Structure 1
Amino acid sequence: MSTPVATFPDQAITELAAELRELLGEKNVSTEQRVRERASVDGSTMSPIIAAQLPLGLADVVAFPTSAEQIGQVVAAAVRHGVPITPRGKGTGNYGQGIPMAGGLVLDLTRARAIVEVGDGSITAEAGAQMVVLEQAAWKAGQALWMYPSTAQSSIGGFLSGGSGGTGTIEHGSNDMGYVLALDVVHADGSPDLVHVEGDEAQRYVHNYGTAGIIARATVRLEPLRDWVGLYASFPTLPDALPVIRSVGRLQPPPRLVSADNPAISATLPPDDAIPAGRASLRAILSTDQVAEATALIEAAGGRVEALRDGQQTSMRISMLSYNHPIEWFQKSTPIPTFHVEVSGEALIDRIAEVEAVYPRGLLHIEAGHTVPIGMLAGEYISPEQVLEGIPRLNALGVGVHNPHQWNVDFAIERTIETAQRTDPNRLLNPGKLNVDYAGPRKGAVR
């Protein structure tokens, strides 16, 4: 059953836009077609299933608040006019979470980007602050983020609202495992006030696309900075590299990241002498005192170390070649439509040939995970039905699957619905993403 979306008269947009211009200034409010169109798309073209259904919505007005307090004021104004509100960070989400399906207001948070405080073990920033900027600030203080996404330019608000893991996941798990210390959120109840929440209460607003409240400011964990080094290695085939993914990922303390690709995927990554053509590529971010042990493991498995590079830019570069980014590079390289599903389990290592054979032209990108290997399995796209048919086959191999080609909240749904009933009584927050009678994805989506 689809979530009903709000309806509102055109006059409401006119009146809201006028009020927002008074509040934010002319340059921070737009009803221009090109601005509205740009604010109404995200990275969902990576999914051929969703791409076939675009456009899914168009903003009527776009607002650019420049502080956490202004975020609250904008939301309160939209609520007064009965206008739906879709929050937006950098638009790097891949699955339509930031598309304004009900039209209305797109709340672009990228200009509210102040770093408020770098403390001992924590950093506080406004929702629009980019993760790469937070990491830079942490390094200057001799610390590092517990975790940041593979798209390092994404915003902290967007990552917490839509993401789940990234660089640092091996040690710390996903962003619902203690990463978030506190949030200042805005409810759609007509009040402009920022509501401060901590601990378990803060988790109510994580990974639900702003459907229960909009994150305006966040405090997340830092850890002491280690002497990180980027290691590039290569192997004749991906199966040769898989035991190393497992063993390097289990080094103590855990590396920040370990990724590897099928040679067909490696060949499409940005040119780099450390990623030789025709070979499987393995990339890791680990402590300098672990290099010798990692090298021994790599060479014992028939691989070779291609390069060792240090510095924050190296960490970011390797991070940007993790999770679904290699699949995106592969998609760009081939005229054959390609999709991917998110997979997990020891079978990614122990039964790799069977896993890749589930889908036509199946190719695996794999990561060392917090508890089990995780990855992205790409395949030739024919139809949504083909995607669905492969999931039970993967499950039978012992592979966990999350199909990302849908835009519904599918994490802690009951908790989110219970929270939204209090915080969004008129169902104005990101309509179309939270199904109150959730029994699966919206019609036309695949899960």
Structure 2
Amino acid sequence: MPASPAALEALRTELVALLGERGVSADQKTRERASVDEATMSPILSEQLPLGLADLVASPSSADAIAATLQAAVRLGVPVTTRGKGTGNYGQGIPLHGGLVLDTSRARAVVEVGDGWITAEAGATMVALEQAAAAEGQQLWMYPSTAQSTIGGFLSGGSGGTGSISHGSNWEGFVTALDIALPGESELVHVEGDEAQPFVHTYGTAGVIARATVRLEPLQDWRAVYATFPTFERALTAVRTLRDTTPAPRLVSADRAEVAAKLPKDAGIDPTLASLRGIVDAAVLDESIELIEAAGGTVLDVREGLQQTTRVSMLSYNHPIWWLKRNTPDTEWFHVEVGGEALIDRIAEVEAVYPGAMLHIEAAHVGPIGMLTAPYTGAEDVYAGYPLLRDLGVRVHSPHQYYVDHGVEELVALKQQTDPQGLLNPGHVIDPSLVLSGGSTASAQPVVPGFGK
């Protein structure tokens, strides 16, 4: 699978002519930066690093240039791993077989905003899309917790975030159309509706998202709400009641005091108490405050404006775990992505699965989801907890693997059509027969299908 030195040099020469000297690099530091993502969030994956190193990095500045770059690599038999900003994936963006890293983050044009939709190139950031939509009195259905993520990266590797309480994952109607770069196709291939969905959350293994059209809705008047609770259990009650307000919140997150103490200092976060942060519609702000107080909480602050709601988003999903890891360097932490009402109803039993475990929780349309984190003692201990969690009624997704684990059979069939040479992000798709009952694989890396990142 690795490309020959002659093929790599030929590709470098062709890409310089196509993209200019600044558009392609064989510099060691550039290649190293383009070959890492958030795999270090997993101690299991960290033990395996480095997993791969790019031979070349290309940075096309338009959707059409993305397609031309891909064609040049495929024609010379060079593997291609597509990259946004590398902020959210756990190894899925690492070039396991070297070759070319196709960095789409310079193709950042917001093409058009329409009534209920927005079109942008793959490198446009989610916050740029949100700002463009707001200027037209609209808002994105959803965006990831890292608002500076690119739309291409979010659609290829993420699954949900702020707004998911109402709209679910990014493969549940968020995407209306894609322009895909495919091996052997000189121009972008336009797909809409159901034909676009198979390319979502597949890490660029079947095609490269160069341009996307996603759904908007009428702009709402949001408020960032910060509250504290004497116990985490009371915060959980508020998570459940807040999600059922109408209009629904855009986000509700909560953490134990031990995690809240590691978050960035903020007047809205008391490091000695459990913390809840929410993004609620101004129309139900008073009702939301009443629900928080009824659960035993105290509202510390209410803030207005996109900058403030974005800040709340940046303290959701795996971000609190990132801050916990950063601010307790003497402890190595792992986390498991979990979901289900048992996270509220049976919290003591859930956290007891792992010694020292703490739950970060999010309200979601499918019931609460969260990150269960604990001190790391070894991979076998982590995996041994999965069946115990399922016995409690908890959905489990393992972030400690770098394969596509959503719709694997459908992806393999699609990839046989679009990428018969197997040059798109090789090593990140496994044989569906390796997925065993109970959500593990025959390899060393468990895959738990059915619960996306």
User: Is the aligned partner of 1:213 residue 2:207?
Assistant: yes
User: Is the aligned partner of 1:433 residue 2:433?
Assistant: no
Give CA deviations for 1:168-218 in whole Å, capped at 9, x if unaligned. Answer: 000001011100000000112x22210000011100100010101000000
The answer (yes or no) to whether the contact 1:49–1:445 under 8 Å persists in 2 is no
Segments of 4+ in structure 1 off by > 2 A?
A: 440-447
In structure 2, the residue matched to 1:278 is 272
User: Is the aligned partner of 1:393 residue 2:388?
Assistant: yes
The answer (yes or no) to whether the contact 1:87–1:214 under 8 Å persists in 2 is yes
- Which of 296, 305, 308 aligns to 1:302? It is 296
User: Is the aligned partner of 1:251 residue 2:230?
Assistant: no
Alignment map for 1:142-221 (pairs within 5 Å) = 142-188=137-183, 190-221=184-215
SS in structure 1 of the partner of residue 199 of structure 2: coil
Distance in 2 (CA, whole Å) between partners of 1:437 and 1:246 is: 36
Give CA deviations for 1:198-245 in whole Å, capped at 9, x if unaligned. Answer: 011100100010101000000000010011001111001110111110
Return the letter of the residue paired with 1:97.
Q
CA deviation after TM superposition for structure 1 residue 435, in Å: 1.6
The answer (yes or no) to whether the contact 2:227–2:297 under 8 Å persists in 1 is yes
User: Is the aligned partner of 1:320 residue 2:314?
Assistant: yes
User: Is the aligned partner of 1:412 residue 2:407?
Assistant: yes
Distance in 2 (CA, whole Å) between partners of 1:375 and 1:133 is: 27
Give CA deviations for 1:99-158 in whole Å, capped at 9, x if unaligned. Answer: 000000000001100000011110000001111111111111111100000011110000
In structure 1, the residue matched to 2:97 is 102
Distance in 2 (CA, whole Å) between partners of 1:424 and 1:367 is: 37
Distance in 2 (CA, whole Å) between partners of 1:94 and 1:110 is: 15
- Which of 222, 231, 244 aligns to 1:237? It is 231
The answer (yes or no) to whether the contact 1:74–1:192 under 8 Å persists in 2 is no
- Which of 370, 375, 383 aligns to 2:378? It is 383
In structure 2, the residue matched to 1:445 is 445
SS in structure 2 of the partner of residue 204 of structure 1: helix
Return the letter of the residue paired with 2:364.
G
The answer (yes or no) to whether the contact 2:334–2:373 under 8 Å persists in 1 is yes
CA deviation after TM superposition for structure 1 residue 299, in Å: 1.1
SS in structure 1 of the partner of residue 434 of structure 2: coil
CA deviation after TM superposition for structure 1 residue 436, in Å: 3.5
Give CA deviations for 1:317-366 in whole Å, capped at 9, x if unaligned. Answer: 00000000001111112211100000000000011111111111100000
Distance in 1 (CA, whole Å) between partners of 2:300 and 2:253 is: 15
User: Is the aligned partner of 1:27 residue 2:22?
Assistant: yes
Q: With the length of structure 1 as denominator, give the TM-score of the two structures.
A: 0.97
Distance in 1 (CA, whole Å) between partners of 2:253 and 2:228 is: 11
Q: With the length of structure 2 as denominator, give the TM-score of the two structures.
A: 0.96
- Which of 257, 267, 270 aligns to 1:263? It is 257
Distance in 2 (CA, whole Å) between partners of 1:298 and 1:73 is: 53
Return the letter of the residue paired with 1:42.
D
Distance in 2 (CA, whole Å) between partners of 1:217 and 1:437 is: 29
- Which of 335, 339, 361 aligns to 1:366? It is 361
CA deviation after TM superposition for structure 1 residue 446, in Å: 3.8
SS in structure 2 of the partner of residue 178 of structure 1: coil
- Runs of 5+ unmatched residues, structure 1: 1-5
In structure 2, the residue matched to 1:333 is 327
Distance in 2 (CA, whole Å) between partners of 1:222 and 1:435 is: 34
The answer (yes or no) to whether the contact 1:183–1:218 under 8 Å persists in 2 is yes
CA deviation after TM superposition for structure 1 residue 414, in Å: 1.1
Distance in 2 (CA, whole Å) between partners of 1:67 and 1:207 is: 22
- Which of 26, 38, 41 aligns to 1:43? It is 38
Larger RCO, structure (CA 8 Å, separation 6 or more): 1
Alignment map for 1:1-12 (pairs within 5 Å) = 6-12=1-7
- Runs of 5+ unmatched residues, structure 2: 436-440, 448-453
The answer (yes or no) to whether the contact 2:26–2:55 under 8 Å persists in 1 is yes
Return the letter of the residue paired with 1:281.
S
In structure 2, the residue matched to 1:90 is 85
Give CA deviations for 1:357-407 in whole Å, capped at 9, x if unaligned. Answer: 111110000011112110000011111111111011111111110011101
Distance in 2 (CA, whole Å) between partners of 1:53 and 1:144 is: 40
SS in structure 2 of the partner of residue 283 of structure 1: strand
The answer (yes or no) to whether the contact 1:46–1:94 under 8 Å persists in 2 is no
SS in structure 1 of the partner of residue 35 of structure 2: coil
Return the letter of the residue paired with 1:408.
Y
- Which of 321, 345, 352 aligns to 1:350? It is 345
Distance in 2 (CA, whole Å) between partners of 1:309 and 1:202 is: 37
CA deviation after TM superposition for structure 1 residue 300, in Å: 1.3
Return the letter of the residue paired with 1:286.
V
Aligned residues: 441
In structure 2, the residue matched to 1:3 is none
In structure 2, the residue matched to 1:130 is 125
- Percent identity over the alignment is 59
